[in-house]
Structure 1
Amino acid sequence: MSLWLLLPIMIGTSFFITGALRRYALTGRLMDIPNSRSSHSTPMPRGGGVAIVLTFLSVLPFLALNHMLSWSLMLALLGSGSAVAIIGFLDDHSHIPVSWRLLGHFGAAIWALFWLGGLPPFNLFGMYFDLGWVGYTLAVVYLVWLLNLYNFMDGIDGIASVEAICVCMGGMLLYTTLDFPGSQQAMAWIMPMLLTAAVAGFLFWNFPPARIFMGDAGSGFLGITLGILSLQAAWVAPQFLWCWLILLGVFIIDASWTLIRRFLRGKKVYEAHRSHAYQYASRHFGRHLPVTLGVVGINLFWLLPIALWVALGKIDGLTGLLIAYFPLVMLAVKFKAGKAE
């Protein structure tokens, strides 16, 4: 089957599964009831992110069998993604203690790192460093943090969906900066393209005003999947890790700045709240749409050009990261991220 035929099939599949999940949730089995920490005011079905999980994971064996995806990457994505999605799905239905969730998250991250071969050589100012077991440890923490911050950032209509699509599109463009004909790595752009298709079908239902929420199953799955794809990209070209960190900047800065500030105030960092910058911004504008579109604008017109600049070797990765993140930190400060509500 042609990839160009597979794309509309995936978009349609994700769309219809999301619709079915919405009908299931509306029976009362999976409704998000507003409380003092919510960014919405009416009960809303949730769990629609399962459509993304099922649509994306179902094509991986097909790609591996047709030599469009390595078996190692397939096992990394399928095993860790399934584990995180199942944990999130169970937590959506009935609360799972934080300690058990984190245990599962670390297990999924270790599984992924095993099949990926660990953290690739680290590029800093033109020098390459192999961090060995320290790199493995840092990579596991990175994956666990990314999947959890994605959950934290999935708080208003459409924001987690458009972030995933923007990051994946940027990730696809990165591969156009290199020339590697005949290599299986030349097919690396397929994964972000297919994840974009899976999210696009769901976004129809989730774009402001949303008719269903993603839920922990979908947000955690997107977080660890994007993390795996970023590490895979770094195996293709070491500078690509910096590029993916730049592309993920909106979520990384908002979540990290907010939780650091809450920690310094003595708050439990895993406790639900609505003090992220994007949540303050949505209350400031009185709607979710301007904030969600703002995230798209920042990704396309600020972060993507810098990431491509780094990929082309015009600037060092760390320097590009600092340039990209500085205005994001200023936005977090402006919208009082982490401040007491």
Structure 2
Amino acid sequence: MSEIWPLLAAFVTALLLGWVMRRAAIIDRPNQRSNHEKPTPRGGGIGILAGFFIALALMPEQAPASGAMLAGLALCGGIAGVTGLLDDLFTLPEALKFIILAAISLALAAMAGPVRELVVSLPWIVGLAGTGLWVFTCSNAVNFMDGSDGLIAACLIPACLVLGLAGGDDVAMASLALAAALAGFAVWNVPLIRARGTLFAGDAGALGASVLFAGLALRWAALGPSGTVWLAPLLILPLLGDVLLTMAARAKAGRRLFAPHRAHAYQLLIRTGLSHRRVAAIWAGLSLACGALVLIGAAGPAGLKIGVFVIGIAGFTVFHRIVRRRAAAAGEDVTQ
């Protein structure tokens, strides 16, 4: 029963701070790549981070190593969240954000443990760089995808719940706390009762929550059974896959990779007439399917883990190509 209170505190904190942020003056105004037409409050990520931090403070005492790791994770997530909040308020230079996120990614990789065992053993410095790249890619992918109501919650909540089932004690409880905080934010962001959500996470939430999740998944990959590293990307494949496959398609078409665009699969679905509610439901279904693959892989040997990874990648690639072909058939420019 004592483990329920931190989760409840995370949910209520995110819910209440979401209510506050809806009345604050931090507004997301539509631009050329927006999926909304009306100015919408943002900053709901402040509630996500606060809820997670409060849950950590209320959790039963951890072993020294676990406590230090979670404290370091919270610090990295907090710095990422503050960076995102400042960007929401003042629009930080891209170079400065890159440097801060790169430093956070490398620090978190060192604290959680660089992944060095893939098909072959990697030198420590290569493992550190690759692991830092995982954190950096996750943070940017989630930030890119914070453009449709309910999308982040639809992907990160199932991912955190699966990590709560598959991870070790410290990873499991912290993952459930993050899921609870995301659920509190989702009350305002997911278009269930209303046709549209009434609060965005903003960069504060997208960067903060993604760094927290990436660190927890990394901790699981570093300490889990052999082959666990192949399962971590599957947890948020619907987000990572959409970003990476879209970038590949734009590169093939000769587009500037980092120019503003509306070519992600979720954006193409919205452009062809699907509601934000339906898109969020589709991504939730994809996330649950990926979670099922993760749980299957976690129960077997390393070979099975690689197998479900390949199945997940292949399945999402097919889905992504179908979306793009249908959008192109409907007359949409699928690279811009």
Residues in 1 aligned to 2:274 and 2:114: alpha-carbon distance in whole angstroms? 44
Give the equivalent residue in structure 2 for 1:296. Answer: 284
193, 205, 208: which one pairs with 1:218? 205
**How many percent of aligned residue pairs carry the same amino acid?**
25
Classify the secondary structure of the residue corresponding to 2:32. coil
- What is the TM-score normalised by the length of structure 1? 0.88
Distance of 1:267 and 1:76 partners within structure 2: 39
For residue 162 of structure 2, what is the aligned residue in structure 1? 170
Residues in 1 aligned to 2:230 and 2:108: alpha-carbon distance in whole angstroms:
20
Counterpart check, 1:231 vs 2:218: yes
Aligned counterpart, 1:136: 128
| Structure 1 residue 309, shift from structure 2 partner | 1.9
Query: Does residue 93 of structure 2 align to residue 101 of structure 1?
Result: no
Alignment of 1:195 with 2:175, yes or no, is no
- Describe the shift of the 1:33–1:140 C-alpha distance in structure 2 as closer, same or farther (beyond 3 A): same
Deviation of 1:289 (Å): 0.7
Please, which of 114, 121, 128 is the counterpart of residue 118 of structure 1?
Answer: 114
Partner of 1:258: 246
How far did 1:143 drift?
Answer: 0.7
Q: Distance in 1 between matches of 2:245 and 2:74?
A: 31
Q: Per the alignment, in what secondary structure is the counterpart of residue 340 of structure 1? A: coil
Cα separation, 1, equivalents of 2:67 and 2:169 = 15
2:263 maps to: 275
CA-CA distance at 1:30 after TM superposition: 1.6
Equivalent pair of 1:64/1:70 in contact (CA under 8 Å): no
Instruction: Tell me what 1:149 maps to.
Output: 141
Give CA-to-partner distance per residue, 1:142-195, whole Å, 9 cap, x none.
1111100110111100000121101011112224xxxxxxxxx43431011100
* Matching residue's letter, 1:115: M
| Deviation for aligned residue 1:67 | 4.3
Q: 5+ unaligned residues in a row in structure 2: which ranges?
A: 328-332
Q: Does 1:41 align with 2:65?
A: no
1:317 shift after superposition: 2.5
Distance 1:9 1:58, change over 3 A: closer
SS of 1:285's equivalent in the other structure is coil
Give CA-to-partner distance per residue, 1:79-126, whole Å, 9 cap, x none.
Answer: 21111111110111121121110100011112212222322x4254xx
In structure 1, list runs of 5 or more residues that go unmatched.
176-184
Alignment correspondent of 1:205? 188
| Candidates 56, 61, 73, aligned match of 1:60 | 56
Q: Which moved more, 1:280-289 or 1:314-323?
A: 314-323
CA RMSD of aligned residues (A): 2.1
Name the amino acid aligned to 2:152.
A
Say whether residues 1:340 and 2:323 are aligned partners. no
How many positions carry a matched residue from both structures?
323
What residue is the counterpart of 1:181 in the other structure?
none
